[in-house]
């Protein structure tokens, strides 16, 4: 017990803060923990055998699930706008092209806000870069 005397002193205690979590992981944790049935995707097999009535969500599984969802959303933000701009560019007016680029850029900004730990100025800069890439791609697809 003598080795732990330093922990009982008031001036020697260090407060440990939990690490920051991605917003998507927080939302998945809230949704899955409110489900009435056992969550087989996030609870490990060992926990299910030991405690069949308890829901325990490991941080590793939550992070894996949220990163899988984020990867699928990222693929959508890469493939769908480029496909739209490539195949339908001749049928749209300039305002429709402008609206699509603004819409996809705003959607990308929401994706970054939800799926990363980036600050506001970082997400805004990345969304502006994404919009400029779509504009460049739009200029390359003119026939």
Does residue 13 fall inside a structural domain? no
List the structure tokens of 131: 């919009």
Dihedral angle at the C-alpha atoms of 115, 117, 123, 126, nearest 10 degrees? -80
List the structure tokens of 143: 């026939």
Residue 97 and residue 138 in contact, taking contact as beta carbons nearer than 8 Å: yes
Does residue 6 fall inside a structural domain? no
Q: Per the structure, how many domains does the chain have? A: 1
Does residue 18 fall inside a structural domain? no
Is 94 a residue whose pLDDT tops 90? no
- More confident: 46 or 118: 118
Is 27 a residue whose pLDDT tops 70? yes
Does residue 10 fall inside a structural domain? no
Share of the chain above pLDDT 70, in %: 67
Does residue 118 fall inside a structural domain? yes
Average pLDDT in the chain: 77
C-alpha dist (Å) from residue 53 to 2, 36, 37, 44: 40, 11, 10, 13
**Residue 31: per-residue pLDDT:** 80
Does residue 4 fall inside a structural domain? no
Does residue 12 fall inside a structural domain? no
Does residue 15 fall inside a structural domain? no
Is 37 a residue whose pLDDT tops 80? no
Domain ranges, residue 40: 23-140
**Residue 72: per-residue pLDDT:** 93
């Amino acid at each position: 017990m003598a080795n732990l005397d330093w922990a009982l002193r008031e001036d020697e205690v260090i407060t440990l803060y939990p690490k920051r979590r991605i917003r998507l992981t927080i939302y998945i944790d809230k949704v899955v923990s409110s489900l009435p049935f056992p969550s087989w995707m996030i609870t490990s097999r060992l926990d299910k055998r030991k405690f069949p009535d308890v829901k325990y969500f490991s941080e590793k599984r939550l992070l894996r699930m949220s990163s899988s969802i984020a990867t699928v959303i990222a693929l959508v933000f890469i493939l769908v706008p480029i496909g739209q701009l490539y195949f339908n560019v001749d049928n749209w007016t300039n305002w429709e092209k402008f609206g699509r680029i603004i819409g996809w850029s705003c959607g990308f900004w929401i994706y970054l806000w939800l799926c990363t730990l980036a600050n506001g100025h970082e997400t805004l800069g990345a969304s502006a870069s994404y919009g400029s890439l779509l504009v460049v791609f739009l200029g390359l697809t003119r026939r």
